Structure 1
């Protein structure tokens, strides 16, 4: 998060204080310019295993001399506990700090911001960004926008392109997948109906519930609901048949059942 360029691995003797024992062996590691904390962690695992084996072999042959740690003339950055509020991105920060903030918290606990899409505000976790420097003296404050090409922050120092993100309740995805995701749940549909018909959300919910109830009732009676251009709802009967239990691989009998179907109309098929 502080933009460090180098880190490392150490093996040391454990004493009564935390991380204060004599050092046995060390190995430096260069941090990649766009490397995330998670990627660095994964890269450390095999290197740490190798260093542990080297240390044990050296101890077995008295080939290593423990070096006492000293803080004389050396200062180390603080490593305070990270809380949720520490993870929020301040888009007024310099672009380099924003990039380091995202990398340092990816994939966990993850940097986040508040975003508005389709007139709805929500929290957005951000796992990876790409910085393009291009001074814009006319821009007084950052602007978070999205279009069919992705999600961007137009910043006085340039452009911060969001590459990977996650919306609450959904999987981690690319920004391109996010802008292409126009799926709606019932609440989203009610909001859209209210806006399109210029009615209250309560009235839109009542209308939607009435539509769902009417279609359900008709199908339960074995009927059919046809909406020209949109499509038709109907039911069909599936005969009893023999199947295979995927866990036991044994044959099972699947009883007959009635299932609901929807066939899109001509206009909907063109969408």
Structure 2
């Protein structure tokens, strides 16, 4: 039986793990992040991969340090010729150089573009119409190793990060099995990432600043920012009333073209259930949002509780 060690933490990594099991692979162990305190009660929260692996009765390892001698000794004792990594930490050489057949990673972009922690989000934020997934052998840098396989995926005009995440997880799950099969069968033909003629677009970790909306930018840019950060961590803005300021997260919008110039951030009540925010030469219709301290809601519900919306502005 083909034997692997699997490493991953978030929900994106559960799909490929399931696919390997369904394809008949023996998963000698699953390596995932340690449980972390979460919520007001600081109860320990298990990773999604741990919950899935526990349900399948798989051996689970949760090292604090990937260089811990006891962890490395146990990893070696598993005698797995191949390691598979999906959405995990950067591995030290002691780990990725251990297996006989190598250690490969699934990345949610068409490398070399969008190397980094948030490839799905940045592809949408930048207005890409196509992305994909890549499997590659891990080396001593981040997302720079030799490519094994790539598969392309269109990005629909209304796609958000959540829906694209699910599409790429499904595509990537099949690609992980294809890659593992090719390595075990001795058919893999890895090749270097071609960066000579490419302007490489990065995918750095998302920060609070990534989500802050600047209404001086064009409607298309803000529209892409909103869907690229929806449903998490979400683009946000300040809604300024005459006497207070309220932070709002914005989950869904659409571009509305206008021939009437207004100052950026101006709010216009379009109907009883919809409103526009002007930005650049056009405006955005805000469809779903979440005021601070409240739940996510449709614009119509939000507007029902605000009488003087015309006297407010986005900032």
TM-score using structure 1 length: 0.61
Matched, 1:74 2:198: yes
Q: Structure 1: which 5+ runs fail to align?
A: 183-271
Taking the aligned partners of 2:298 and 2:172, their CA distance within structure 1 comes to 31
1:30 CA displacement: 0.9
1:118 CA displacement: 8.2
Q: Structure 2: which 5+ runs fail to align?
A: 1-124, 307-315
Higher relative contact order (CA 8 A, sep 6+): 2
1:155 CA displacement: 4.2
Work out the number of aligned pairs and report it: 181
1:114 CA displacement: 0.8
**Aligned mate of 1:143, from 259, 266, 271:** 266
1:119 CA displacement: 4.5
Q: Does the aligned pair in 1 maintain the 2:211–2:236 contact within 8 Å?
A: yes
Q: Does the aligned pair in 2 maintain the 1:135–1:156 contact within 8 Å?
A: no
Other-structure match for 2:285: 161
Taking the aligned partners of 1:85 and 1:155, their CA distance within structure 2 comes to 19
**Aligned mate of 2:152, from 17, 28, 37:** 28
Task: Report runs of 4+ in structure 1 exceeding 6 Å deviation.
Answer: none
**Aligned mate of 2:249, from 106, 109, 125:** 125
CA offsets 1:115-173 (integer angstroms, 9 cap, x no match): 1458542000001101122232x434441244622232134533310011111222111
Other-structure match for 2:110: none
> Which has the higher Rg, Structure 1 or Structure 2?
1
Matched, 1:13 2:137: yes
CA offsets 1:194-223 (integer angstroms, 9 cap, x no match): xxxxxxxxxxxxxxxxxxxxxxxxxxxxxx
Alignment of 1:203-214 (within 5 A): none
TM-score using structure 2 length: 0.53
RMSD: 2.0
